[in-house]
């Protein structure tokens, strides 16, 4: 990442074309602060359109979408409450190609019985796909919800299952 682009209070953004539609990437110049899917709830940011702060992000997303990468290793800076950040940290521990239920996620963050609260935190994830909220499903095996739309969630789960050599 080109650190010389960093200035106080500057937001950078880039559009990344993908098989699930354009992804809006947002950065503060040092870390990824947002990844939103076209048609999602997030609006485009005020800021500077520039692909340079996203060089690593774009390369790793390309590898992920080609089935060649299972984890990401660039700086993230999601903004949220302490509880939301605990949920998002736990999402990052769900292995590639696997899913857990909202109830299991609640148990893992020490809030057994708070599946709705973790579902809400999951839905407020500002860095979708990278913080893999798509890996959380309903207890009955249904998809549950997804801010990017259920077709995208289905595609992501299928993509990961196929890349991991699993059938869903």
CA distance 129 to 21: 13
Residue 161: which residues within 8 A CB-CB, separation 6 or more?
97, 167, 168
CA distance 78 to 65: 22
Burial class (CB in 10 A: 0-12, 13-18, 19+), 111: middle
Among 23, 35, 61, 133, the active-site one is 133
Nearest-10 Cα torsion for 22, 18, 23, 66: 180
What tokens does 166 get? 């699993």
For residue 44, the 8-state DSSP code is P
Residue 107: in which H helix or E strand, if any?
A: helix 102-108
Q: CA nearest 134: which of 64, 54, 43?
A: 64
The question of whether 92 is a catalytic residue gets the answer: no
Active site amino acids: 133
């Amino acid at each position: 990442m080109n650190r010389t682009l960093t200035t106080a209070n500057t937001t950078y953004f880039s559009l990344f074309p993908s098989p699930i539609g354009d992804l809006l990437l947002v950065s503060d110049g040092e870390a990824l602060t947002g990844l939103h899917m076209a048609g999602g709830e997030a609006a485009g940011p005020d800021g500077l359109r520039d692909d340079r702060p996203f060089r690593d992000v774009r390369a790793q997303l390309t590898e992920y979408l080609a089935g060649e990468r299972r984890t990401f290793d660039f700086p993230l800076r999601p903004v949220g409450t302490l509880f939301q950040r605990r949920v998002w940290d736990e999402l990052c521990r769900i292995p590639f190609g696997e899913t857990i239920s909202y109830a299991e996620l609640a148990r893992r963050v020490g809030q057994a019985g708070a599946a709705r609260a973790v579902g809400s935190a999951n839905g407020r994830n500002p860095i979708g796909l990278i913080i893999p909220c798509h890996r959380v499903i309903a207890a009955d095996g249904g998809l549950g919800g997804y801010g990017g739309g259920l077709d995208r969630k289905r595609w992501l789960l299928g993509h990961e299952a196929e890349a991991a050599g699993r059938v869903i």
